Amino acid sequence: MAGFFTVKVSGEGTLQNDLNSFLLTLRSPIKSALNSVADEFTQSLDKHIQNDVYGAYQPKHYPRRPDNESLLSPKYKEIKVNDFSLSFQYEPKGFHKGRKKDILGAEYDDMIHEWVILDKETGATKDIIEDPNAPLKPHPVHGDRLIQRIQTGEGYDWQPPKGEDSFPARPFWNNFVEEQKNGAAMDSFAYGFGSNVVDLVREGGNRDIQWGDTEGMLEAGIVDDEDYELPW
């Protein structure tokens, strides 16, 4: 998934030379504002991953990934800030490393001769791990398709949470986009701009921020038409 934030400066009746000179004056505050938006994007996306994805349930048949391989990993985000534009790329990888018994923190029960998962509070056996030495089965998808899988809850290799027939939908990317669409990005831009040299004006229309490409947005279910530019 990708988002693009572009700044346009215009003035009615302004001579081109004067406008070019003015743009040089604005270059620094605009870049500062775009860096503020980049920080907002990162913090907001991380919040929705933590709350909407990891906070939705505790998996029973596969372990959470270690911190450096989780969906929160900075290596899955690519941020580029130029003088008048910002690009934000998020491409998560879908895989788990190690053996079942290693990452799950299971213990060997001498009485039943099985690797088991113990309840942290009571110490009682919660579950028996089948094939404890088997490698964890990796997700076969990455990037937009992994985002789609998480958002819809469909297509997993793992068994769903105990007592459930399917995985719950966890629309973290939709929620992230909606938060930015509803003013968070523009508020961050205004805060980062931090100057009284000019007045910032929010214009209508749908050309302020563009999110991703057609295929990616369809897969994540953000919108259902052909226009993937979010209005403000």
pLDDT tens-digit map of 199-216: 665 554 434 455 554 333
**Same domain? 79 vs 6:** yes
119 and 79, same structural domain?
A: no
Domain ranges, residue 177: 2-94+139-230
88 and 155 co-located in one domain: yes
Please, which pLDDT band fits residue 13 given cuts at 50, 70 and 90? low
pLDDT band at 189 (very low <50, low <70, confident <90, very high): confident
- The predicted pLDDT at position 65 comes to 75
pLDDT tens digit sequence for 98-150: 777 776 667 888 888 888 887 767 777 888 888 888 887 766 788 988 999 89
d(CA 88, CA 82): 12
The answer on 109 and 197 residing in a single domain is no
Give the number of other Cβ atoms within 10 Å of residue 51's Cβ: 13
The pLDDT of residue 20 is above 80: no
55 and 27 housed in the same domain: yes
Among candidates 94, 86, 108, 98, which has minimal Cα distance to 39? 86
Domain count of the chain? 2
